[in-house]
Structure 1
Amino acid sequence: MGSLGKKKEREKEDEAVWKLLTDGASSEEGSGAGITLISPEGIELTYAIRLDFENTNNTAEYEALLAGMRLAQKMKARHVEASTDSQRVVKQYQGEYEAKDGTMAQYVAKVKETAEAFKTFKLEYIPRGRNRKSDALSKLASVAFDHLAREVKVEVLTSPSLNTKEVAAVENVQETWMTPIIKFLRDGTFPEGDWAARKIRVKALQYELVDGELYRRSYLGPSLKCVDMEEAEYVIREMHEGICGMHSGPRTIVTKAMNAGFYWPRMYETTSREIKKCDNCQLHAPMTHRHKHPMISVSTSWPFQKWAIDIIGPLPEGPGGVKYVVVAIDYFTKWVEARPLAKITGEQMRRFVLDNIICRYGVPKELVSDNGVQFAVRPFKPWCE
């Protein structure tokens, strides 16, 4: 019975869940990480870790999480439920966010590798208000919290958790659009061919070398750093769909790139080509449903040859019982002739055209109407013919 009881107790310990709360912070004064590890019995272990190397807020969050996982390993924890107030860390670990930066990708891989040491590992996002303990520890706040443990162990990490690899410097032999200009400004060498040499000699006047980097001179602003096509595509993507991008058009992206200090040839064409590859712009771009046909201008070659005629009304009745207006407009001069009427009959239209158009400006060649009854039947139509 005694051995059976010990066996059940060991199984209970193996199934016990440890809770881990982490937070990282980075500022001009330095970087820090806060860890709160809670045992199944409710005992809290609180750590404040100073990160004595260059960090950002994102890398500090990962360092805090990795340090907490290492602490859980030392405590022989088998089941760990970790929580952090960094939504980016949680989404990247779960695969919902893509870690485009190389350093972030290495941190994600490191977390997944460390998680394999546990039987079960779960990472969740919690709001900052529910993570006050670790947040206070990460910022090394001087405010007293009653819910913190009495002993806070302070540890210093002198190197990041990632294994840094030494890479030998390899000279990039791939030629770009900048290579001929750099060779001419640095060594005075010309490309082969008289026309190519003349072209480089003229083009090089717009560029300068600063510490081995090529810059394009500007008339009213600072010099713009020249980048190759691969770097240009990265700049376009970051400004178009990056963390601060709003899927702007080519003109806005080119203006932003130049204001940020970058330059490459055919900036508008390159930007337009890259923007056309954006899936979100293809799905949500505004589309017009109007028919595509050329605009046809309505005009005439001589004054008072073509008139447009129509009737306005009924209007509020005026003196003499008039409540309609017949209006005629010349297509060439836009001259207007109008007469108020009490009745709108074909005879009234004939008298208006005779008195206001023919007797004043001569016989017109065309009269354009909406084919109303007054214009399409007797006596107006036979009279016009």
Structure 2
Amino acid sequence: MIKAQILVDFIVECTIPEEAKLERDSSSNMSGASAGLISINPEGIIAEYALRFEFSTINNGAEYEALIAGLKIAKELEVDRLQVYSDSQLVVGQVSRNYEAWEDSMAKYLEKVKEIIPIFGSFDIKQIPRAENTRADLLSKLATLVPVELPKEVLFEVIKYPSMKEPQLVMEISHEPSWIDPLVAYLKDGVLPHDAKEAWKLRNQASRYILYEGKLYKRSYSLPLLKCLQPSEADIALWEVHEGVCESHLEARSLSHKLLRQSYYWPTMYHNSIEYVRKCDRCQRYANIQRQPTSKLTPLSAPWPFAQ
């Protein structure tokens, strides 16, 4: 982590090519826009970023997404003073308060930028001609390539959600009806269903669970206590393990086993993992395809048991 006193200046150049405009389609596998970021510290060390946005957006929205991505990078590097250069007259004018943001979408992006700016000790944004921004423009075009085709020194990242609709990895839920409620009600207050058969089933099921500090955990034979997740929390866990920081994109069985090893549990986790992998665009695009034709199995004979 680079401290603020070492990296006192941070320059971000961002551009979106004109040909990155998207047709407005609801298709889930539509390619998004792309962006290029260049960071330069006072010692002249250059870091280049190629970003790909896998969601539909207009050109000005993509310019704002590139700016927000650069601000987040500077925030992670604990930058104190930040200087931003962009060739977008609209974005520079709105952030510098020379232009008004009349459209609702632009106003929301501007508010997002204003929330991040106070983190820095000093902040300034300037417009430069497109001819002086050719390197960042080239990076934005490289972002449309397959990641393995990019130069090794270029950092590549895929942004799946708009900055205004990012999934919150920490979610406080006041009340969400789910499979957990009957178990918690029985373990906490001894509440049982009126139906005798359902009551017997709940008592038998509750023997495999424990309530600790208001949280429900499942007992396990070979693993520690497994935290029981509600449906919305399960969706976040699936996203984080499958396409989070490491972007492992595991297949369904490995994905559900990885969640168990991380001490999470819900009854339908394996079936949810199958559905999640089937809906993942990148898994469907780049998964290995079995091309060998099916054939009958050849039986093996052995002179005595366990000879093979």
TM-score by length of structure 1 reads 0.38
Task: Please say which structure displays the higher CA radius of gyration.
Answer: 1
Q: Which protein, 1 or 2, shows the higher relative CO under an 8 Å CA cutoff with sep ≥ 6? A: 2
